Amino acid sequence: MAPFITFEGIEGSGKTTQIRLFAERLKRQNRQVLQTREPGGCPIADQIRGILLHPENAAMDSRTELLLYAAARAQHIEQIVRPALQQGKVVLCDRYTDATMAYQGDGRGLDRKLIQQLNHLASGGCTPKLTLLFDLPIEIGLGRARQREAELQDSSEGRFEREQLDFHQRIRDGYLTLARNDSDRIKIVDASRSLDDVTLQVADILDSFLPAAIGSL
């Protein structure tokens, strides 16, 4: 199958901007590409996304949160991601199973073995070949996220931004632990730098990865 690449990071890390820029670049190179996201990516999963991210759902139990992410992922993979990979498209996904480990495992303190089992069940064994982790201090990321929310005048997906700082710090630390334990797949991008500098970092990583990945199809 074609390369499956995921973009990960805390709130306000800039990964969504970078995934859009790189998808546009691949299209200019006449490569087939699918840009998608989690939770979401298809109508059923998008409806679950609305439940997961809306601030009015602050009372959501952590187990409910975990199971909703798994349900959205199962639908997304079978309806969108796997067919695209089989068609030879490069798939770029904004968050995936590493986010569940960091947010629900490290952030919420849920059992990591259970999360691994649910991730495997929901993904059907569909795993990324490369993950870019956009890392920066949580205060900078949250500041960016809240500024974006104010500029757009849209708080409908701001439930996680309203969590305490220690929650976000646990997530960042969890992501960095994942990167240390799987350094061949997860590449860290310094997201505290300027947009142009971050874009250059991303290009260096992806340009070195894609020729080898495509050559192995």
Q: Which CATH number belongs to the domain containing residue 166 in this structure?
A: 3.40.50.300
Contact 42, 76 (CB under 8 A): yes
Q: What is the DSSP string of 126-140?
A: ---SEEEEEE--HHH
Residue 216 has pLDDT above 80, yes or no: no
Average pLDDT over residues 56-73: 97
Residue 213's pLDDT is 55
**Rounded CA separation 128/118 (Å):** 16
Contact 128, 93 (CB under 8 A): yes
Domain assignment of residue 92, given as a range: 4-215
Which structure tokens are listed for 64?
């409910």
More confident site: 172 or 143? 172
pLDDT, tens digit (0-9, with 9 covering 90-100), for 36-50: 999 999 999 999 999
Strands of the sheet containing 90-94, edge to edge, are: 33-37, 90-94, 4-9, 130-135, 186-190
**Rounded CA separation 123/80 (Å):** 12
Domain count, the chain: 1
**Rounded CA separation 137/14 (Å):** 12
**Rounded CA separation 60/141 (Å):** 24
Residue 158 has pLDDT above 90, yes or no: no
pLDDT, tens digit (0-9, with 9 covering 90-100), for 116-156: 999 999 999 999 999 999 999 999 999 988 888 788 777 78
Contact 134, 13 (CB under 8 A): yes
